[in-house]
Amino acid sequence: MSTTPAPDAYAEPHGSGGGVGVARVTLQTVADEVGVSRMTVSNAFSRPDQLSAELRERVLAAADRLGYVGPDPAARVLARGTTGAVGVLLTESVGTAFQDPIAAAFFGSVAEELAPTGLAVALLPSTGTEQTVPARDVPMDGALVYSCAGDMTAVTWLLRRKLPLVFVDQPPTGDASSVLLDDRPGARAAAQHLLDLGHRRIAFLTTAFGLPDGVAPDPADAGIGYVSRERVAGWMSALGPAGAQVTAIHITDNSEEFAEAGARTLLDLPERPTAVLCFSDLVAWTVERVARERGLAVPGDLSVVGYDDSPLARAAQPQLTTVRQDLAAKGRVAATTLTRAIARARGEEGAPTGPEHVLVPTELVVRASTGPVPQG
């Protein structure tokens, strides 16, 4: 015995890649070990009711012994035809999307609602390499298109794949479903609130909602500025008939930087408005700050209205009058609308027979940043 060379000496005769190539453990490996068919092992993992509890135990034990984790997800996806994941298509810059607490809260709510269904959420950057375009190459059962102004090529891929789609904060294309904020009534209420306080010289501070002059509107770009347009429409529906004197100031982006520039422009106006309707709480918060820096009182000299009712609205001094959107609800609705769209594509029972379009309500919240129009 002692002269017998160690068995290991003969292992891996050709010493392939230095041990990296350990033959993979598959269903078959386990099946051979237990002495059953591959199908039985598959059932032991995926359909326990198809075999006796006793055999299942033995199979699972053998699998454990061999270090078999379970059916390979990739292979399972191919064989089953479902992926267990849905995509979320984001704006050009994913980072920006996450900086925005509104977007972040929305994603969180979506993921949370989806978790119990076992669906994972895949974030799809709309850009990609030449080689890899997530919207085209990531396996998924459906996708959420979230306010993707501009870059429509990713959306085009999703459409071509005929994936169940839900457009959020953006009008839908084709037979996709949609979840839109019912912005107009909320915006209208905010404007009416200012009118009721006696304001007649009112400004908007909002992101651009039209295309640059001379650019032909591309139908594929229908989503651009949709949200701003709706909010402006809501504001105007109250202010127009009342004959208020309206000044619109456009800011490039919903960021503190641009908001600050916009606020300065606003306060430099020869006939300074007595109230301002802002695209977001961030903008409103910035206006408050700039006004304070100039020694103007809010709401004494200037009433400010925000939008979203984000945490910032309550953190601001004075706390912002704003239009609340229920982000948690929006996320939940988006998630269920998507799962229903997927069910529809699969022809499941009880699934909707066509695309669904949901409006999420908005509501005016009056706090301390608005007050009666100053005398004189």
Partner DNA sequence: AGGATCTACTGTAGCGGTACAGAAACCGAG
Partner DNA sequence: CTCGGTTTCTGTACCGCTACAGTAGATCCT
Q: Using CB distances below 5 to 8 A depending on partner kind, what does residue 14 bind out of its own copies, DNA, none?
A: none
- Using the structure block, give the residue that is written with the tokens 């301002």: 276
CA 242 from centre of chain: 37
- Per CB under 7 A, which region of 38-46, 146-154, 229-237, 239-247 contacts DNA? 38-46
- Per CB under 8 A, which region of 94-102, 143-151, 261-269, 358-366 contacts its own copies? 94-102
Q: Using CB distances below 5 to 8 A depending on partner kind, what does residue 204 bind out of DNA, its own copies, none?
A: none
- Which CA distances in Å does 129 have to 125, 126, 133, 137? 10, 10, 6, 11
Per-residue contact flags (x/-) with DNA for residues 76 to 95, judged by CB under 7 A: x-xxxx--------------
d(CA 71, CA 44): 10
d(CA 126, CA 91): 7
Nearer to DNA, 78 or 269 (CB): 78
Nearest distance, CB of residue 175 and its own copies, angstroms: 14
For the segment 331-370, give every residue that binds its own copies (CB under 8 A).
347
CB 25 within 8 A of CB 50: no
Q: Using CB distances below 5 to 8 A depending on partner kind, what does residue 124 bind out of its own copies, DNA, none?
A: its own copies
How many beta carbons lie within 10 A of that of residue 109, not counting itself? 20
CB 277 within 8 A of CB 249: no
CA 176 from centre of chain: 16
- Using the structure block, give the residue that is written with the tokens 């001094």: 317
Nearer to its own copies, 74 or 269 (CB): 74
- Per CB under 8 A, which region of 133-141, 201-209, 210-218, 365-373 contacts its own copies? 133-141
Per-residue contact flags (x/-) with its own copies for residues 285 to 324, judged by CB under 8 A: ---------------------------x--x-x-------
Applying CB under 8 A, what is the total number of residues that bind its own copies? Answer: 64
CB 172 within 8 A of CB 334: no
- Per CB under 8 A, which region of 2-10, 136-144, 216-224, 229-237 contacts its own copies? 136-144
| Among 325, 327, 331, 328, residue whose Cα is nearest residue 86 | 331
d(CA 178, CA 349): 21
Q: Is 55 in the site for DNA (CB under 7 A)?
A: yes
b/e map 63-76, b = 16+ CB within 10 Å: beeeebeebeeeeb
b/e map 117-142, b = 16+ CB within 10 Å: eebebbebbbebeeeebbbeebebbb
Nearer to DNA, 57 or 293 (CB): 57
CA 110 from centre of chain: 7
Q: Using CB distances below 5 to 8 A depending on partner kind, what does residue 101 bind out of DNA, its own copies, none?
A: its own copies
- Which residues bind to its own copies, rule: CB under 8 A? 17, 20, 69-70, 73-78, 81, 83-85, 87, 90, 93-99, 101, 104-105, 107-109, 111-112, 114-125, 127-129, 131-134, 136-140, 157, 160-162, 312, 315, 317, 328, 347
- Which residues bind to DNA, rule: CB under 7 A? 24, 26-28, 36-40, 42-43, 45-47, 50-52, 55, 68, 70-72, 74-76, 78-81
